[in-house]
A and B are shown apart, each in its own frame.
Chain A
Amino acid sequence: MTNEVLLTTIPLLPLVGFALNALIALVRARKNSSVPEKLVSFIACLFPILAFVLAIKLFFVLKGDHQITAISTGPLFTWMQAGFIDVSFGFVLDHLSAVMTLVITGVGSLIHIYSTGYMHDDKGFARFFAYLNFFLFFMLILVLGDSLVTLFVGWEGVGLCSYLLIGYYFNEPEKASAGKKAFVVNRIGDFGFLVGIFFILKVFVSNQLDGALLSFAFIQEHKELLAPLATLIGLSLFVGATGKSAQIPLYIWLPDAMAGPTPVSALIHAATMVTAGVYMVARLFFIYEMSPESLHVIASVGLATAFLAAMIAIVQTDIKKVLAYSTVSQLGYMFLALGVGAPQAAIFHVVTHAFFKACMFLGAGSVIHALHHEQNIHHMGGLFKKMPATALPFLVSTIAIAGIPPFAGFFSKDEILWNVYQHAPRGMYLLAVLTAGMTAFYMFRLFTVVFMGKFRGHHEPHHLGFNMILPVAVLGLLAVVGGFLGVPEILHGENHFHHWLGYLTQSQHTETANHGLEMNLMIGSTVWAVAMSLLAFSLYSRNLNWTQTLKQRFAGFYKIMCGKFYVDEIYEFFIVKPIRLISEHVLWKGVDTRLVDGLMVNGSANVMSLTGRLVTLFQTGVLGNYLLFLWLGLFVFLIVVFS
């Protein structure tokens, strides 16, 4: 088969898996019989793995031949044709989408395998895997689509799957409403995304271009036309990214999204979907390059999110919430990298983050599963001895996210920090380093409280199957070695990753080649991360009473942090409540009840019945009267016609 056919097959494989499992789920629901778990697991894992194999094959095609910059299927079929707009469906695999596809199918396959253990004996087993495959399908559409519209299809599709999977336990109201919250908040972002698309369309249309206006190739070819509106377009699209990738001000849905099953959190809300915003900005980086203002905004929002989320993460007591805020914080890092003009570093961090954060989420899932759905970290402890196969990868990932060499997170984080140092004000750099230290602190706090010390749980952890240990171990291994994809030149690496994605930025930064400085900063940030890690370790393993003292000393601030800075409450008061009030008193009781129901529906009915009552007065039941009316009518008619 040709490469183009293989490329088309990649996203379709999970779709087949979805169709089969959805069929099983439907049949099971009708017959009310038990799920054939083995069959469902086989189907669910087979298709993502096949997609992964194909992705590897195509990756090597790209890697093998430097002449080929992208494999494109061209337009597979015309989707919409309206006057000057011509939208066709097509896939393109270039270096950027190859990286994303490998992460999605690779990490996705591992998480599918893990889920077969985690979801064992769940009533909705088939439904769960159907959704999960469906998600992979849309995610692949998102990264492989060759136009902004195709990307948007995937964008909305993953939003839908995210909603379905967060609210997977839909019979528990707060979980269902967490799904709803994610959906609504994402919708706000998507509105901005759409506005951005429309801006691009408007520019092209007013320049009387036609053809495949929204394909990436076309946009890139005519990007000079977009220059005057670049800031507006960039920021509108970035609003979409803040929704999908959980940045300020729309990050609030991600912590709540932890209501879904833990593998979902690992796959969708850590490794893949939430990085869609980063992917989108990297994909359209040629637009952002034309607008330094929008890059400043992205960098500031990213840094602020990273810092705020890290602060909240320090005081969380739910194992998944800590990881969720950590994800928000790391996503902030990625946007910071984008904002300082280093999409390569951002995507590199996407990849390493996918490894170690998926590993941690799956590890957390194992812990939760083993402890019979206990999520409070203060009811854990001492699990290192009881669950070494889970604890070790978790430790590795914790070291990786803390940014300690030579684990994966160090390289990506350090590349970001170096770029921030070079291209941003010093204050931003210091804040970024501070946040890195906080990351190390809260992650080691989590690790220490969960895995070290004495066991404080209620149930003995039960045995975990091989299918739940293997994926965590593989991801842990990747968290160790993943960073070697992009070893910077200063450490005698070749930074393959940077060169692989070098085409994303137009202006190659003239390397100031201040290697001494870079080395010093690197050592500094490493020492800083190690120090914070050790601090957290010693605080939470030996000197727990110190943390109590700290809590009492800073009681007010601690309370604010525990309240997550009351962002949800502020939104509730300033946005949700006014909308509720307006909806209730103006739209519902005013427009709907009075205007639509009262005036229009009942009003027209009342007019009709009144007219009817008047007209029935003529129906006397006396034959003579009827005839009289008949003659009179004829008389009038004749006069009108013949006069």
Chain B
Amino acid sequence: MINLHHYLVVASLMFTIGLAGLVIRKNLLVIFMCVEILLNSVNLVFVALARDFGLMEGHVVVFFVMAVAAAEAGIGLAIVITLFRKRQTIQTSDWNLLKG
């Protein structure tokens, strides 16, 4: 039987993968995907707990998060495209002008 714990474990695994990806990877597109993984792991926690407690609020928040994530994806991808057009690269190691 799959219960709440399984969902939470999966969610925390996804969160960890997302975090690790953010820190380790240098491809902006992959970093972007990692952010999506983070958001979805949180979404998973929300729905799992909402179902467990029998409350609707969690579901509602998930919809908000999805909407925000969609908007963020739109803007984020636009930035990625602009950056690529400027230098033909989206490696973060190549975009390091702001440093001390």
Contacts and interface: CB of A to CB of B under 8 A. Distances in A.
Contacts of A619: 98-100
B42 interface: no
B100 A624 contact: no
A622 B93 contact: yes
Given A624-B22, A624-B23, A627-B22, A618 B31 contact: no
Contacts, number: 32
A625 to B, nearest CB: 8
Interface string A168-196: 00000000000000000000000000000
Interface string B84-100: 00000000110011111
A615 B100 contact: yes
A627 B23 contact: yes
Given A622-B92, A623-B31, A623-B92, A628 B23 contact: yes
Most chain-B CB neighbours within 10 Å: which of A623, A628, A631? Answer: A623
Contacts of B26: 623-624
A241 to B, nearest CB: 67
Contacts of A624: 22-26, 92
Nearest to B34: A627
A64 interface: no
B23 A621 contact: no
B19 interface: yes
A353 to B, nearest CB: 79
B78 to A, nearest CB: 18
A617 B23 contact: no
A157 B26 CA distance: 77
A508 interface: no
A622 B24 CA distance: 10
Among A619, A624, A627: residue with most chain B CB under 10 A? A624
Interface residues of B, number: 14
A616 interface: yes
A410 B23 CA distance: 106
B98 A621 contact: yes
Contacts of A621: 96-99
A611 interface: no
Interface in B15-38: 19, 22-26, 31
Contacts of B93: 622
A627 B96 CA distance: 14
A620 interface: yes
Contacts of B25: 624
A611 to B, nearest CB: 12
A418 B93 CA distance: 105
A621 B99 CA distance: 5
Contact of A631 (B19, B24, B92): B19
B92 A618 contact: no
Nearest to A614: B100
Contacts of B31: 623
Interface string A599-643: 000000000000000011111111110011001000000000000
Contacts of B24: 624
A620 to B, nearest CB: 6
Interface string B1-26: 00000000000000000010011111
Contacts of B100: 615-620
Interface in A125-172: none
Nearest to A618: B100
Interface of A: 615-624, 627-628, 631
Closest 6 CB pairs of A and B: A616-B100, A621-B99, A621-B96, A619-B100, A623-B92, A624-B23
28 contacts: A615-B100, A616-B99, A617-B100, A618-B100, A619-B98, A619-B99, A619-B100, A620-B96, A620-B99, A620-B100, A621-B96, A621-B97, A621-B99, A622-B92, A622-B93, A622-B96, A623-B26, A623-B31, A623-B92, A624-B23, A624-B25, A624-B26, A624-B92, A627-B22, A627-B23, A628-B23, A631-B19, A631-B23
Given A621-B99, A622-B93, A623-B92, 16 more contacts: A616-B100, A619-B98, A620-B96, A621-B96, A622-B92, A623-B26, A623-B31, A624-B22, A624-B24, A624-B25, A624-B26, A624-B92, A627-B22, A628-B23, A631-B19, A631-B23
